[in-house]
Amino acid sequence: MGLDNVNPTVYSVPKDAYGQSARSRLWRMSQNSDLSDTETETQAQTEAIDAGEVFDLIRNINDPEHPLTLEQLHVAQLRHITVDHENSRISVVFTPTIPHCSMATLIGLCIRVQLLRCLPARFKVDINVEEGTHQSEKSVNKQLNDKERVAAAMENSHLVEVVNQCLATTIDKIAAY
């Protein structure tokens, strides 16, 4: 089976883009074994989170087909992330590199899993394909925002392995800061 997009456009990423300020604190908080679960959740509930912090959590996710990040491919962009604290909702819109990308659901699943692992549980996360950028966007969006479908996908050990591979360098880069 060949690649969907043999020659994707690669965008430059500023060298100082990783680990600015305290944006990786969400991940560090989730990994802090010195705090009890109650202390960690209380700390997470009181912390304000901005779109930049959410972007920092997903920018380094590896593309499943290429040795590039979602940021380098402009699949994930800061301008497509919104945080609504009043309603505890986060919306992430991503842009597949081609309209018939067969990896769109996997990319969205990687974004969802990364945010589920790192964000406080109070947030409802919506993951969607940018309107008009994928031939099956409604179907992909329905799958990505259906709890039962996501749970079923994460019961598949092969799929979990693929997701973890896509997230591997994300965790390494975040942990370094």
Return the domain boundaries, the chain.
Answer: 49-176
pLDDT of residue 163: 96
Q: In what order do the strands lie in the sheet with 81-84?
A: 81-84, 89-94, 124-129
| C-beta of residue 90 within 8 angstroms of C-beta of residue 54 | yes
Give the residue from 26, 47, 51, 37 showing the smallest Cα distance to 170: 26
pLDDT of residue 95: 95
Asked if the 49-176 domain carries CATH number 3.40.50.410, the reply is no
Each residue's pLDDT expressed in tens, for the chain with a length of 177 residues: 455 665 566 666 765 554 443 345 554 445 555 555 565 555 555 678 999 999 999 999 999 998 899 999 999 999 999 999 999 999 999 999 899 999 999 999 999 999 999 999 999 999 999 999 999 999 999 999 999 999 999 999 999 999 999 999 755 555 544
Give the number of other Cβ atoms within 10 Å of residue 82's Cβ. Answer: 13
